[in-house]
Structure formats: C-alpha cells, structure tokens
Amino acid sequence: MRLANKVALITGGSSGIGKETALLFAKEGAKVVVSDVNDAEGRTVVAQIIENGGEAAYIRADVSKADDCAKMVDFAEQTFGKLNVLFNNAGIMHSDDDNAVTTEEHIWDLTMNINAKGVFLGCKYGIPALKRAGGGSIINTASFVAILGAATPQIAYTASKGAVLALTRELAVIHAREGIRVNALCPGPLKTELLMSFLNTEEKKQRRLVHVPMGRFGEALEIAYASLFLASDESSFVTGTDFMVDGGITSAYVTPL
C-alpha cells in the first residue's frame, strides 16, 4: 500500500476530487480525516471508507475561519496520533463570478476567503503538525486557469487559484529542508458538479472543451491518482511544482517566449 501508516487530512472531502481522493487514500492504507461543511455527505464518505475496511473520521470545518482550521488539524492529531499529508482541496466556483466589471465585491471576497485564505490557514496550522510528524506532504488544489486564464470569465476563481500557486511555491522553498514538500495540483476541466454547475449550458461546455486536446472533461478519480503520487514517498524529490493534470490544455496554449 502506497500510504501505509500515513494520516491524511482532506478538506472539501465530501464530493468531487476530495471524495475520490479520500476513498483512494484509504484504499492505499492511509487513515483519513475528511473535512467539509456538508456534514451528511462528509459522514457518508467516512462511512464508505469504514465499510471497506479503512479508517476515517469526519470533522466539520469552514476553511475560511482560522479556528476551524486549527481544530481540524488538532482533530487529526488527536484521532490518529499524527498528520503526514495535508490536502488543501476545499474550494468554490460561484455562478455569479464573471469579469471584473460585473462581479460583485462580495463574490470576490467569498471566493478568495475559501480558495486562497483557506489554503493559507490550512498551511498555517498544518505545517506545525507535519513538523511534529517528522515531515510530510502538502497538496494545494489550484487550477489550469491560474496559468492560462479562463475562456469563460471567472475572475475571482482564477485570481484565487493564482494565489494558491504563488503561496505553494514560496512555502515549498521555505520548508524544503524540513522534510515538508508543498505542491500545487492543477486540474484541467473536470466532469464534476462544481464545474458542470458553472458551465451550465452546452455552449459554455463546448467553449471549454474545444481547448482540450484530449477532447473530454477529466474525471475526479484521475485527479485523485495524481494526488496519491504527490502524497506518497514516490514523489520524495518533488516540491514547488505546478502539477498539471489537464488533458494537454496547457501544452496546447502555453508557449515559451
């Protein structure tokens, strides 16, 4: 098992990438703490892990709140004795997120608080726990749009994911010699509820798909497998990366100067 004897905390673990990652990590031997604000769905994921013979626990946490982030990290250590892997995955993509002119300030603030501040707070409280465990892996969910921009305007989301990339790079450098690896996972367009609810017309879907060389949306499980690599000791020399899992979209549109 690739994560035997490891404890992983996954925010936004009740659905999409978080859910598939929680199930996969448990299958690979990790003890998993699922964190979310959707209690019923989060507890369902935990129950599924336990039914399959794994170990898991659920805690409610709003990642935009410092107290909640501190409590979820403490919960992981108190429940399973340590923390080895922190997956800062929780995020939103608001349907009213548009361009700079039409996006309301409260949508900007909400998006930044969850997507960017939430990663900062997860690291703020998670890094000391990883140090206590002798090191570990932090995975921060960013997005391909942080590098390319989005064909369908979503200015707050794109900016928040750009912040995640910058934060990841700096933390990777700061903590590299402490045995803590920090990487940004950058999914391409995925067939998840989060994106499909945003791309809510066939025209919007096709506008995004036309840019993907593979010609399809990715699946959450495909991102989970990338997370597994970054969480495992197999990626022991990998830190500070923008880990692209995007169906080729950035290779098609990013060219060197």
Q: Which of 58, 125, 157, 225 is catalytic?
A: 157
d(CA 236, CA 111) in angstroms, rounded, equals 32
3-state SS assignment for residue 242: strand
State the DSSP code for 181. E
Q: CB neighbours of 54 closer than 8 A, spacing ≥ 6?
A: 26, 27, 31, 32
Residues listed for the chain: 257
Strands 7-11 and 85-88: parallel
State the DSSP code for 211. T
Residue 253 known to be catalytic:
no
d(CA 126, CA 216) in angstroms, rounded, equals 35
**Run of H or E residues at 57:** strand 55-60
d(CA 225, CA 115) in angstroms, rounded, equals 22
Judge whether 32 and 236 are in contact, CB under 8 Å.
Answer: no
Amino acid at 177: R
**Run of H or E residues at 156:** helix 155-175
Cα dihedral 46, 18, 200, 64 in deg (nearest 10): 100
> Which positions are annotated as active-site residues?
157
